[in-house]
């Protein structure tokens, strides 16, 4: 049996917390992050591909069929840091920032001594030994979680503010936050003035896609629909987790059990929120995240193994980077976040919560979208073709009108 990394503490019911009230948007409705646990590390390398993930989401097919790998776009990974010298990231790491007290508080020290951030970044865009979803994209490590995996949302707020200020100079088009609180919310309307929510809105307005883990506390919350903070904010691209293959049985530390697993079965820990309940705050997309092999921190060719919504989130981030890169090459600009969300959902595979899951949690009996890299890029390409057709038709009409006026 295997155990899910994550907190086993009882849910912390959120209260309003203020931090440095001289700053704008400083109100935070949750204080502490659920600590992420270090992935299993191996000397490696062993697996050159994210094989089962690729097979399910068809990432390799998408890269080949659309001739895209993430060139021209950059993701900011807000996590435990990054092993910047790993060969999987060679030549593509943009200097980031440390917002924790680790490394004696040195702002330039983004070293990953936990492994979670390196695992997450590798899933999104590793290249050379392991192959992430978007292997040509650049990475900006933003260290907001400590070496023990814990952290505060004040540091995350400051990290997001840093990204917002430097998005243009660093070319940041996406944010990956494989983290969250232990709560279970169904709306963001009860958090007016929240600092992180405000920054997510500003980033979204600027075309930066913010991918955030839906949470790993479904069993802990009695199988009730909901998502954790900050995934619950409607501005995010919120991500839940499914299995990518028959991995056997799993028993997790919080008591969740999967007696049988298979591709596209929801993990019993993954929080979920259907649009019938959450409306615009619902879970946007699901992705494989249990377990996933990626880059590690033992050495510059090492690998790591971990599972959870934390691993599903960079899968979606990688597809977002492919979409942005494809659109940028075609149109010379980035797409809107609304366009990206629409393509993710239109191109998704429909999965059902409770049709074939065999575990010890309740199920909603509702359908959810699971990401497909090929489907998303096809949806994008169709939109682009329709826009070109509409533009051509408009040009013909303008030409005809000009001729008639003569």
* Residue 64: CB atoms within 10 Å: 12
Sign of the alpha-carbon torsion through 243, 303, 180, 137 = negative
> Are 165 and 347 within 8 A, CB to CB?
no
Active site residue 79: yes
> Are 392 and 356 within 8 A, CB to CB?
no
Q: Which of 29, 54, 79, 376 is catalytic?
A: 79
> Are 70 and 125 within 8 A, CB to CB?
yes
Q: Which of 310, 325, 372, 376 is catalytic?
A: 310
Sign of the alpha-carbon torsion through 38, 40, 45, 49 = negative
Q: Which of 29, 116, 130, 221 is catalytic?
A: 116
Active site residue 300: no
**In whole angstroms, how far apart are CA 372 and each of 86, 291, 330, 379?**
28, 18, 21, 10
Q: By C-alpha distance, which of 325, 225, 299 is closest to 266?
A: 225
Question: SS in 3 state form for 30-82?
Answer: CCECCCCCCCEEECCCCCCCCHHHHHHHCHHHHHHHCCCCCCCCEEEEEECCC
Active site residue 29: no
Which residues are tagged catalytic?
79, 116, 310
């Amino acid at each position: 049996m295997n155990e899910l990394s994550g907190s086993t503490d009882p849910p912390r019911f959120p209260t309003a917390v203020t931090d440095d009230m001289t700053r704008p948007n400083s109100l935070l409705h949750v204080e502490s992050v659920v600590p992420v646990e270090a992935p299993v590390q191996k000397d490696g390398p062993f697996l050159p591909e994210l094989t089962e993930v690729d097979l399910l989401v068809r990432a390799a097919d998408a890269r080949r069929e659309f001739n895209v790998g993430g060139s021209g776009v950059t993701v900011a990974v807000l996590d435990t840091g990054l092993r910047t010298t790993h060969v999987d990231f060679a030549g593509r790491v943009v200097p980031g920032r440390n917002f924790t007290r680790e490394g004696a508080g040195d702002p330039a020290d983004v070293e990953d001594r936990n492994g979670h951030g390196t695992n997450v970044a590798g899933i999104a865009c590793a290249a050379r030994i392991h192959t992430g979803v978007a292997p040509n994209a650049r990475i900006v490590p933003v260290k907001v979680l400590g070496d023990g995996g814990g952290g505060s949302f004040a540091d995350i707020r400051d990290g997001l503010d840093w990204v917002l200020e430097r998005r243009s100079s660093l070319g940041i088009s996406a944010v990956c936050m494989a983290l969250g609180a232990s709560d279970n919310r169904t709306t963001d309307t009860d958090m007016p003035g929240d600092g992180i929510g405000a920054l997510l809105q500003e980033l979204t307005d600027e075309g930066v896609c913010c991918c955030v883990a839906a949470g790993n506390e479904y069993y802990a919350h009695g199988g009730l629909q909901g998502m954790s903070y900050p995934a619950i904010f409607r501005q995010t691209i919120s991500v839940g987790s499914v299995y990518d293959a028959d991995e056997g049985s799993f028993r997790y530390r919080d008591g969740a059990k999967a007696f049988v697993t298979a591709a596209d079965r929801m993990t019993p820990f993954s929080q979920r929120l259907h649009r019938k309940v959450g409306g615009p705050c619902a879970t946007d997309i699901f992705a494989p995240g249990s377990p996933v092999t990626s880059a590690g921190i033992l050495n510059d060719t090492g690998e790591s193994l971990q599972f959870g919504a934390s691993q599903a989130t960079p899968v979606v981030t990688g597809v977002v980077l492919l979409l942005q890169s494809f659109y940028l090459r075609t149109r010379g600009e980035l797409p809107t976040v609304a366009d990206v969300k629409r393509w993710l959902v239109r191109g998704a595979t429909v999965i059902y919560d409770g049709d074939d899951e065999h575990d010890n949690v309740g199920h909603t009996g509702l359908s959810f979208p699971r990401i497909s890299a090929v489907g998303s890029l096809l949806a994008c390409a169709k939109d682009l073709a329709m826009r070109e057709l509409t533009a051509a038709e408009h040009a013909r009409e303008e030409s005809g009108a000009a001729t008639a006026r003569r």
